[in-house]
Amino acid sequence: MLLAVEQARLRVSKNTEAKRKSQLGQFLTPARTAEFMAALFSETKRPLCRLLDPGAGIGSLSSAFIERSITGGLDFAQVEVTAFELDERLHAELRNTLASYASQIPLHYEIVGGDFIEEAVNRLQFNYGHSFTHAILNPPYKKINSTSRYRHLLRQVGIETVNLYSAFVALAVALLAPGGELVAIIPRSFCNGPYYRPFRDFILNRAAIRQLHLFNSRTQTFKDDAVLQENVIIQLERDGVPSDVTVTTSTDDTFSDLAANLHPLNRIVFPDDPELFIHIPTSLGQTAIERSAAIRYSLAEIGVAVSTGPVVDFRLKEHLCNEPEPGTVPLLYPGHFKGQATA
């Protein structure tokens, strides 16, 4: 069935105008990534699974989850899927995806139209329709303005955040039952950046990070949609006891060079860091940040890429500014690094 969903994804993606895609954050998850995400959930055997799929698109993620519950590792007597999708034009395809499993496992599904943020805030405020055991999501990405209705709604349930994707994850964490697991594919920006600090605080207070997956290539994950972004996959356990975190990496969504390491939590979130930055070490050896008190963050973590060679100040005089201003970047000379050597 996953193959049929993948074909539907390519068809829907091709027929959706770029404007609509970016308005609704409609970048659907390719099957291989969906399968990888579904495989992260801990093996379990329980009578009832209540799966949350917020911003479900055509159901690629629910499909991968249900496939895994059919083929092994996730053993449920009954699966109930609640799929939220704002865009009614995707409902028929979403219904097709979910209905196709009804003959294979005891499955009950509900497609909830309308706005997930509104609906989730209502559910939390009026204490109904939560206690999900599992959540799988690839949420939309879009900035939330500080004066918008979303910000106001989210504040009512204690969520202060700047993007739809972090709002979706925070709400999904809040809707999970104790011990419930969440797997999400999201941009890496939540790991650092002062604006995401309240979000980091929200999730770290309510859940334990179990796994982080980093794609080494920015271009590969949503390549059919030409999305250029560094994505991570995060697995959280609601009310879980914080412990070691598995960090996996792969160049792309073939996962052919998958590498895995286990790190103590204090390498991921430094105990003395008031900003609660989430570091993703890609090897077991100590990083420069861990070796030196002078270096707090990696360049990637503060969103900086280095250009060496092509920048020569005397050829770029008209671009040099006397004072920093929005949109300018520092031009560093070797002299700037004197006295900053690592131990």
At a CB cut-off of 8 Å and minimum separation 6, what does 236 contact? 173, 181, 182, 184, 203, 207, 208, 209, 210
- CA dist 75 and 259 (Å) reads 27
For residue 285, CA distances in Å to 75, 118, 179, 267, 288 come to 38, 45, 32, 11, 10
Query: CB of 200: closest distance to ligand SAM in angstroms?
Result: 21
Residue 238 has, within 13 A of its CA and on its CB side, a CA count of: 21
Query: CB of 236: closest distance to ligand SAM in angstroms?
Result: 17
Identity of the residue, 61 or 209, whose beta carbon is nearer to ligand SAM in the bound complex: 61
Query: CB of 253: closest distance to ligand SAM in angstroms?
Result: 13
Identity of the residue, 90 or 170, whose beta carbon is nearer to ligand SAM in the bound complex: 90
Identity of the residue, 124 or 269, whose beta carbon is nearer to ligand SAM in the bound complex: 124
- 187 close to 229: Cβ distance less than 8 angstroms: yes
Query: CB of 206: closest distance to ligand SAM in angstroms?
Result: 21
- CA dist 166 and 162 (Å) reads 7
For residue 56, CA distances in Å to 22, 63, 81, 96 come to 16, 10, 11, 13
Residues within the interface to ligand SAM (CB under 6 A): 24-29, 55-57, 60-61, 84-87, 90, 115-117, 138-140
Identity of the residue, 29 or 250, whose beta carbon is nearer to ligand SAM in the bound complex: 29
Query: CB of 77: closest distance to ligand SAM in angstroms?
Result: 26
Identity of the residue, 57 or 180, whose beta carbon is nearer to ligand SAM in the bound complex: 57
Per DSSP, the residues of 184-218 read: EEEEGGGGSSGGGHHHHHHHHHHEEEEEEEEES-S
Query: CB of 90: closest distance to ligand SAM in angstroms?
Result: 6
- CA dist 228 and 210 (Å) reads 26
